[in-house]
Amino acid sequence: MAAVSPFHQGEQDIQTRLEMREQVEDIGQRFIRDHLPDQHREFYAGLPYLIVGSVDSAGRPWASLLAGRPGFISTPDATTLTIAARPTFGDPLNESLIDGTRLGFLGIDYQERRRNRLTGRLIGVDENEMRVHVDQSFGNCPKYIQARSVEFGDAVDSIGEERVVRQTERLDERAREIISSADHFFIATNYSADDDDAAQGTDVSHRGGKPGFVRIDDDSTLTFPDFTGNNHFNTLGNILLNPLAGLLFIDFATGDLLYLACSASVIWEGEELTAFTGAERLVRFNLEQARLVENALPLAFSFVDYSPFVEQTGSWEAVAERRAAREIGNTYRDYTVAKVERESDNITSFYLQPSDDGDIVCHCAGQFLPIEILPPGGERPVYRTYTISSAPNGEYYRLSIKREPRTADAPPGAVSNFFHDHVVAGTTIRALNPRGQFSLDRSSTRSVVLISAGVGITPMISMLERLDSDRQTCGCTRKVWFIHGARNAGEHAFGQFVRETAATWPLLETHFRFSRPGETEIEGRDYDSVGRVDVALLKSLLPFDDYEFYVCGPGPFMESIYQDLKEMNIADERIHYEYFGTGKALAATRPEHATTIDLEGRGPVSVQFAKSRVEAIWDPDKGSLLDLVESQGIEAAYSCRSGVCQTCAVALLAGAVDYSDPPAAPPPEGMALICTAYPAAAPRDATAGAESAPIVLDI
């Protein structure tokens, strides 16, 4: 008989929606317990404060704070939590302390950035203490906790003294002040079933971000970005089944506590979500009641520093800027090269930071950066895309670029070699925001296989850094395989970094295969085997498992590896890949990659270039819209000319377009990728001889 799931239906439905149900269930079965392990018992015993989730008589959840000197929380046994404290004056928890009540608890240590959660039922309460029977207990991801130290004063010994309490049904000026400056808040939710399911009950959780990450939409509406966590979805699962939620905001400067009772909804897609760096979804709250208790915080806190993961997230200001930029087209920004580092004989890294000292737009591991360069003696800028080899960090982009060989048969890469020959610390580089669909799927819990050759290692390093960060902060237990092919040690970039990472990461396995090892290079020390990465190697290394494969390298390597994986019966949706420079569809059987539009009979079509004040007539002989733009002497940004990099995206002000091949990633709404775009065909029901509608491009 299968074990009873520790997750209720709402949590399971979201895990299923995000295709991680089986993996999260396995983790939950192992780490969600019906008792407190010794480590958790010691943790709670040392806390001077505890966050509590409760539900009032009207069914509204509330988040509250209990405090006392360390030791006020004790565990007489592994299934009982005893709390020698009473709620502060005005706290909604005062109204809910009744035997049998289900409560949620969050033990959080700001200074050490640790937290554990449990749910349970009150089995006894009096004036001095409350006793709780533990239903579920588990560790929780410590991301986004801002470090604060705590100081004890007389207030901790006088909890319960009368305070000023103000209640409203709208966010007044004081509430707005507290919310707009908050770098975190606590959220309580509840789901109740008619049976004894241990997965039901009240939950309370922490959410953190940059100050202002909770947006005030109006006097009764808030929106916040929900970042990646432990994938249990306790909060969102409760909201799916019961939309009521309680929020607690703390003003550490004044000691004011702001309690909000709301209804909540989850936003799973949309332009705002896409534009908010790091957000997995948005959550919106509609206020029903606000309660402000003045000077109620019984402890004094001092800010220490922000979580390093906060810098990897966006802001609402950046969302507004990105949306505005999309409306006016692509906007290049100046970056200063802060540092140059040699990674191998032919690959060098360039660290780019914004020249305007503004926030950097965090990317997804694996994405690339479109850049603009004016080579010495050049008359026009040239455009290229380079993979970002660093994980998102909120400070810089690292581009690791290969020098192209100078031979009689193959001219050198103009831009790549320009970097090697001319770019130094202090050089200014112009770039668009990061983009690209080839990126690490962090919502998956499957084992990861990173396969690369040559300079194809660059996105894999970004993904490896991201996975390493996740395992250190959220206890990510994904098995990772890093398999790379190079000619020899001299051309093997990042080899030492990968080895050092593996030395501290038990779930990371590495294999380096050299095709032509140097005479002084030793197998087992400098590399693991001789030859090229192929299906035989993959079969010898990988045990039977459910993998996500990420592949990057030269064209022949990519085609070979893709066919190898298909021979191993790996499904297309488990194979993620990217070519250098231009994209190519390896999965030729996919219908979305097998389309070529028929241009016969189309045109003539009027195409107007709004900014240039030029009008031209397109017909099939003129080629793509980018070809037409260039024929008119108008400068346009582009790089891949294959609909992959989106450098050529231009606002489509009027008309409609088709594509020679569907873009690897759809352009932003209202934009056209002119390198592979053509005027759309006239409507099927149009009269004979009807022309397509005029095209107006914002260029």
- Can you give the pLDDT at residue 685? 43
| Arithmetic mean of pLDDT, 520-525 | 94
Q: Is the pLDDT of residue 373 over 80?
A: yes
**The two three-digit tokens of residue 344, written as one number:** 């191998």
| Arithmetic mean of pLDDT, 210-236 | 94
Q: Quick check: 661 and 597 in contact, CB under 8 A?
A: no
- Can you give the pLDDT at residue 1? 32
Those residues whose C-beta lies under 8 Å from the C-beta of residue 303, and which sit 6 or more positions away, are 146, 147, 148, 252
- The Cα 516–Cα 500 span in angstroms is 24
Q: Phi and psi at residue 362, in whole multiples of 5°?
A: -70, 140
- Could you tell me the pLDDT band of residue 544, with boundaries at 50, 70 and 90? confident
- Could you tell me the pLDDT band of residue 467, with boundaries at 50, 70 and 90? very high
- Can you give the pLDDT at residue 586? 61
Q: CB 284: neighbour CB atoms within 10 A?
A: 16
Distance of CA 69 to the CA centre of its chain: 38
Question: What Å distances lie between residue 298 and 46, 115, 259, CA to CA?
Answer: 17, 20, 16
Q: Where are the beta strands (DSSP E) in 355-443?
A: 368-373, 382-387, 397-402, 428-431
- The Cα 292–Cα 587 span in angstroms is 58
Q: Note the pLDDT tens digit of each residue in 239-287.
A: 999 999 999 999 999 999 999 999 999 999 888 898 888 899 999 999 9
- Could you tell me the pLDDT band of residue 688, with boundaries at 50, 70 and 90? very low
β-pairing, 605-609 vs 695-697, is parallel
Q: Could you tell me which residue, 568 or 48, shows the higher pLDDT?
A: 48
- 95-109, 161-175, 472-486: least confidently modelled range: 472-486
- 267-276, 356-365, 538-547: least confidently modelled range: 356-365
SS (H, E, C) 428-479: EEEECCCECCCCCCCCCCCEEEEEEEHHHHHHHHHHHHHHHHHHHHHCCCCC
Those residues whose C-beta lies under 8 Å from the C-beta of residue 384, and which sit 6 or more positions away, are 370, 371, 373, 415, 416, 581, 639
HSE, side-chain direction, 13 A CA sphere, residue 30? 7
Q: Note the pLDDT tens digit of each residue in 386-436.
A: 999 999 888 899 999 999 876 444 455 678 888 999 999 999 999 988 887
Q: Could you tell me which residue, 684 or 592, shows the higher pLDDT?
A: 684
HSE, side-chain direction, 13 A CA sphere, residue 597? 19
- 137-141, 238-242, 295-299: least confidently modelled range: 137-141
Task: Using the structure block, give the residue that is written with the tokens 């780490």.
Answer: 31
- The Cα 477–Cα 470 span in angstroms is 9
Q: Could you tell me which residue, 630 or 520, shows the higher pLDDT?
A: 520
- The Cα 339–Cα 398 span in angstroms is 9
Q: Note the pLDDT tens digit of each residue in 613-651.
A: 889 998 887 878 988 888 888 878 776 666 767 778 888
Q: Which domains does the chain have, with CATH numbers?
A: 9-316 (2.30.110.10), 337-431 (2.40.30.10), 447-591 (3.40.50.80), 605-697 (3.10.20.30)
| Arithmetic mean of pLDDT, 96-115 | 93
Percent of the chain with pLDDT over 70: 90
Q: Phi and psi at residue 21, in whole multiples of 5°?
A: -60, -55
- The Cα 176–Cα 154 span in angstroms is 29
Is residue 427 within a helix (H) or strand (E), and if so which, with residue range? none
Name the average pLDDT for the chain: 87
HSE, side-chain direction, 13 A CA sphere, residue 485? 20
Q: What angle do CA 638, 644, 649 make, to 5 degrees?
A: 45
Q: Quick check: 217 and 317 in contact, CB under 8 A?
A: no
**The two three-digit tokens of residue 149, written as one number:** 């130290």
Q: Note the pLDDT tens digit of each residue in 490-499.
A: 999 999 999 9
Q: Quick check: 683 and 594 in contact, CB under 8 A?
A: no
- Could you tell me the pLDDT band of residue 146, with boundaries at 50, 70 and 90? very high
Reduced to 3 states, what is the DSSP secondary structure of residue 384? strand
